[in-house]
């Protein structure tokens, strides 16, 4: 959860906002094709598998869960980057992401 929150917070850095999220998404139209997404997906998939093995999250397809988590975090970061009030949108994005991610937990918070 902390990694995803940090990812969503990236647009608060103006250089990251401009270069990675705004300019990058204009040039590399499909974010799922960005080179960094493969490594993010793999790390997230491995984390999901570990959490399933420990019984922390529900048993499901790890790759599917990882894809959905990564896509949600990426879209939240893009929303923050494109907003007029990044700090206000960040709070909404993180809250919504955490609510979505906790649905995967075997035992609700």
Q: In tens digits, what is the pLDDT along the chain, a chain of 109 residues?
A: 678 888 788 778 887 777 766 666 665 556 666 666 678 889 999 999 999 999 999 999 999 999 999 999 989 988 998 899 999 999 999 999 999 999 999 987 7
Query: Tokens 């990236």 correspond to what residue?
Result: 10
Residue 57: which of 97, 94, 66, 76 has the closest Cα?
Answer: 66
Element (H, E) at 28: none
In this prediction, residue 16 carries a pLDDT of 76
**Cβ contact 58:106 at 8 Å:** yes
Q: How many Å apart are CA 71 and CA 109, to the nearest integer?
A: 23
pLDDT confidence of residue 91: 96
CATH topology of domain 2-102: Tetracycline Repressor; domain 2 (1.10.357)
Question: What pTM was computed for the model?
Answer: 0.79
Instruction: Kindly give, in sequence order, each residue whose CB lies less than 8 Å from that of residue 108, ignoring residues fewer than 6 positions away.
Output: 102
Q: How far apart are CA 51 and CA 48, in angstroms?
A: 5
Residue pair 16/10 in contact (Cβ under 8 Å)? The answer is yes
Query: Shortest CA distance to 6 belongs to which of 104, 107, 108, 90?
Result: 90
């Amino acid at each position: 959860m902390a990694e995803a929150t940090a990812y969503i917070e990236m647009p608060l850095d103006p250089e990251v906002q401009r270069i990675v999220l705004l300019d990058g998404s204009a040039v590399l139209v499909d974010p799922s094709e960005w080179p960094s997404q493969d490594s993010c997906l793999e790390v997230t998939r491995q984390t999901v598998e570990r959490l399933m093995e420990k019984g922390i999250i529900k048993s499901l397809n790890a790759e599917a869960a990882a894809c959905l988590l990564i896509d949600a975090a990426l879209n939240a970061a893009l929303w923050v980057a494109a907003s007029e009030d990044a700090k206000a949108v960040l709070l909404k994005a993180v809250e919504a992401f955490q609510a979505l991610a906790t649905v995967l937990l075997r035992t609700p918070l």
